[in-house]
Chains A and B, each alone.
Chain A
Amino acid sequence: MALRSMVGANIKRKEDPGLINGAGKYVGDIKLPGMAHVAFLRSPYAHADILGIDRAAAESRQGVHAVITGADLQDKWETVPVAGGRKARANYSHYAISAERVRHVGEIVAAVIAESAEIAADALDEIVVDYAELPAAADLLTAYAGAAPPIFAGLDSNIVDTGEKKSDDVDAVFENAPHTLRQRMHSQRVAGVPMEVRAVLAAPDAVTGGLTLWTSTQIPHGVRSALAEALRLPENTLRVIAPNVGGGFGVKNQLYPEEMALAKLAQLHNKPMRWSGTRAEHFISTTHGRSQIADVEVAFDDEGRILGLRLHVIGELGAYPPFYDIAHLTGLMATGNYDIPAVHFKASNVFTNTVAVAAYRGAGRPEAIYYIERAIDLVAGELDIDPANVRRRNYIQPDQFPYKTPTGSTYDTGEYEKNLDTALRAADYHTLRTEQAQRRADDAGSLLGIGMATYVEMCGFGPYESGVVRVEPSGTVTVYTGTSPHGQGLQTTFAQVVADEIGADYDDIVVRHGDTSSQPVGVGTFGSRSLAVGGSAIVRASKVVREKAIKIAAHMLEAAPGDIEFADGEYRVKGVPGSSLSLSQIAKRAYSERLPDDIDTGLEGTDFFRPPDFIYPFGTHIAVVEIERETGLISLRDYFSVDDCGPRISPLLVAGQIHGGLAQGIGQALLEQVIYDEQGQLLTGTMMDYTMPRADDFPHFSLDQTVTETTLNPLGAKGIGEAATIGSTPAVVNAVMDALRPLGLRHIDMPLTPRRIWEAMQSA
């Protein structure tokens, strides 16, 4: 394939031939000779002391190699990494196999090593654990209010991490504002639910004395570093491989206890072993997302200009959170796309006896945009102004960028009103409003709701990413990236970039990732960072190759390097059309004896990209819903998504990211919720109980775009992985509340199930 410009071309993915025929290998598909199987016994209690464990019966079963408890290993490893640094890890963490106390249902208390997965699972039933149950802090608000016991010794309360940003004049602004309104909103607890459950395979490495670990992760390099520290092993004796990974969405973004346990057990027993989790295990042991309660208060004038915002976020951490960042990210995006002069943001993070709440597609930013976009619609409703106009009156204007928000973000570039207008045109907004007015006048048929949301998000997390571009002696090209794609299609996107940057044939490029032994140290794939940061590293590495190719071409063509140009995918003497050399011809020379002394052998580049700041993609979403009056059943009639992520390298793949993001954001709005009861038992622990969005929950998605480049990376690209999740949740809720407005209903918390809608309609 020799398209002159691969960047921007719609091409089929390089990844797919190995996936559509079942050849892809995920961790649970990999077998090693002599491999044993591990199963974990998990706590059935949310909060309990382990008084004793009787493993004799389990251990005597045929085919069981060993049953391991936390007490066996306590002095042999460090605790699991958690947020809050060294002190927190000493006091607020646990061992990967817990030894004394458990703090959520699903915490590991023992491991069985057996010759088959079935035998290991059978043996779990014969381990007898003597627990002394403790009162649980299972509910966020109860824990926040101090009405539940602290989950760690030495704490006065379960509130462990707070933050505050306050503009000097915010209280005066609220005092003098013509209008104020206040609403409590929940961004409910949801689960990432990648289709591949987490799995780990560990094998001792006789050469280094360390281990090779295959794991379903978004961050193989991060797992390697954290594992080395936790197991007290030299980092360079560990090799972490993320083979095909069946989705991540943020929940495979930290070192998990199972990764530590498999590595430790494989090392102690000097044997390869695999754990393939079940979906039930996944729901109780893999981090959840969102779970915030927010008090939102806005001050505004008669025209709907927002004069001030107060936002207090109560964020749930669960037990052993890997980071505290989520609520702080909410604070950084609290003002959304709007020029709001006075802000008071406060975050209170709260421990509970539930599995940790951590990153899930958007992590903190969907919550922020949900609050502000709901607030904008509440203002519009209060003043009876079209919500599009309230947005228009408050947008940060193009000439205000770079724009510093009152909570500490610096937005790079943006053109919000143009984006809004594109969406309004795409949806034929005024015709929709006319239809709605007619329907309301007739008071017949289902309730029609039109909702919109404008979002901006911060992404492109650093601190760096790495890339290697190697032209092989044959002229084929191997690219290595420190990112770790798991569905994003970066093998395709990065090959497109490299093809154009150095004049390689797209079909001759192989992109490798997910193996710490063959790549420069990298960071991983999360936070919509892979193209903006990882792609930029690839651009820089390509530049090293191109500059060297020019030097070699100059030598081959007997010209000065300054007279060589790279154009149309070839290297040639400026103004001499017949003089061109291909990358293959140059590569052959690069590895030959016929190089001059002043040019080193080889043709490859390694480089890193360190983003100077975050990047801020944005967009406008419009949802059209119909609600059955008799049942409260919502159907999503149309959906319009106009996203601005800067230039698109692979438009087909960008659209795919948007489709998937929409489904997850809409899922939160209408369907999904993780529910624990007051004892901390998970009630939504299977796919029978946790509502996963299906194909017939969605309409055909209509996509459009505006293009605003960032100035902060060489591709001009912003992120797209999380954007659609962020825009869609408030757009859909705004649409539903718009439909219900004639009934005098102002706000209903998510998920907007038919039951909740029906109940609200009855009470209206």
Chain B
Amino acid sequence: MNVSMTINGEAVSREVEARTLLVHFIREDLDLTGTKIGCDTSQCGACTIHVNGKIAKACTLLAAQADGADITTIEGLAENGEHHPMQTAFWENHGLQCGYCTPGMIMASAAFVRDNPGASEDDIRHYLEGNICRCTGYHNIVKAVKQVADAAAGGA
């Protein structure tokens, strides 16, 4: 079947099998491998992307379900060559080690802070339940997200 969508501002159209998961479509058909796969059961959040501005785990959707959608992946988060503030905050706060959970973690956090400027540390820890990291103990991830949340509240 044919699916068409906008990914990172670019219109794409491909023939896929009906069973193709969105995450496989993004990684294998479009070669956007920044979106990762860390489990088979939708726990880990490594494949988190934005679909029409909302976060989604790309392993829980078929490519066909995203037909016509506007999708942003980690590769499309920076604007005009400038890192998104969440990317910068992860770098500045040592919020990543092996980097494998990082794209999903950043995509989830960026959407969360956009919708929840000024979120508390507790809010952030609770929200990040859907994204698993094995390296950082979440400490510096939470710190990075809090930094952006504080800045967002300050600017509001």
Contact = CB atoms under 8 A, between A and B. Distances in A.
Contacts of B44: 195, 279, 687, 692
A323 interface: no
A86 interface: no
Contacts of A698: 125, 137-139
Contacts of A153: none
A488 B94 contact: no
22 contacts: A16-B91, A16-B96, A20-B87, A20-B90, A21-B78, A22-B103, A26-B36, A196-B38, A196-B98, A197-B37, A247-B97, A247-B100, A247-B135, A653-B94, A686-B39, A687-B43, A694-B128, A695-B129, A695-B131, A695-B141, A696-B128, A696-B129
A444 interface: no
A117 B17 CA distance: 13
Interface in A529-567: none
A195 B134 contact: yes
A280 B36 CA distance: 16
A246 B39 contact: no
A694 B129 contact: yes
Contacts of B6: none
A659 B140 CA distance: 8
A488 to B, nearest CB: 7
B40 A22 contact: no
A653 B97 CA distance: 9
Nearest to A488: B97
Contacts of A280: 40
Interface in A265-309: 278-280
Contacts of A16: 90-91, 96, 99
Contacts of A693: 137
B75 A659 contact: no
Contacts of B96: 16, 19-20
Contacts of A716: none
Interface of B: 17, 19, 27-28, 31-41, 43-44, 46, 73-75, 77-78, 83, 87, 90-92, 94, 96-103, 106, 121-122, 124-126, 128-129, 131-142
Interface size class of A (residues with CB under 8 A): 35 or more
A701 interface: yes
A659 B137 contact: yes
Contacts of A194: 98, 100, 134
A702 B135 CA distance: 17
B128 A701 contact: no
Given A278-B40, A487-B98, A29 B33 contact: yes
B134 A686 contact: no
Contact of A15 (B27, B99, B100): B99
B26 to A, nearest CB: 11
Contact of B128 (A249, A661, A695): A695
Contacts of A688: 41, 43
A15 B135 CA distance: 15
Contacts of B128: 694-696
Nearest to B32: A22
A462 interface: no
Contacts of A232: none
A650 to B, nearest CB: 9
B134 A20 contact: no
Interface of A: 12-13, 15-17, 19-26, 28-29, 31, 117-118, 193-197, 244-247, 249, 278-280, 486-489, 652-653, 655-656, 659-664, 686-688, 692-696, 698, 700-701
Given A20-B87, A195-B98, A692 B134 contact: yes
Contacts of A489: 97
A692 B132 contact: yes
Contact of B97 (A28, A29, A660): A660
Which are the 10 A-B pairs with shortest beta-carbon distances?
A: A22-B34, A246-B100, A487-B98, A663-B137, A19-B99, A487-B97, A659-B137, A22-B74, A29-B33, A687-B43
Given A12-B91, A21-B74, 6 more contacts: A656-B140, A659-B136, A659-B137, A687-B132, A688-B43, A698-B137
Given A19-B102, A487-B97, A195 B125 contact: no
B38 A195 contact: yes
B41 A686 contact: yes
Contacts of A659: 136-140
Contacts of B98: 194-196, 244-247, 486-487
Given A195-B44, A195-B133, A701-B137, A21 B34 contact: yes
Question: Which of A23, A29, A660 counts the most B-chain CB atoms under 10 A from its CB?
Answer: A660
B103 to A, nearest CB: 5
Given A195-B133, A488-B97, A700-B121, A20 B91 contact: yes
A557 B116 CA distance: 63
Nearest to A29: B33
Nearest to A657: B97
A13 to B, nearest CB: 7
Contact of A13 (B35, B40, B73, B91): B91
A279 B33 contact: no
A487 to B, nearest CB: 3
A272 B46 CA distance: 27
B91 A21 contact: no
A695 B95 CA distance: 13
Nearest to B43: A687
A195 B46 contact: yes
B92 to A, nearest CB: 6
A700 B139 CA distance: 7
B38 A662 contact: no
Contacts of B34: 21-24
Contact of A660 (B100, B103, B136): B136
B134 A247 contact: yes
Question: Which of A31, A488, A664, A696 counts the most B-chain CB atoms under 10 A from its CB?
Answer: A696
Given A21-B75, A193-B134, A195-B46, A279 B101 contact: no
Nearest to B89: A20
A20 B102 contact: yes
A695 B37 contact: no
Contacts of A695: 124-126, 128-129, 131, 133, 138, 141-142
Given A21-B87, A486-B98, A696-B129, A279 B38 contact: yes
A687 B41 contact: yes
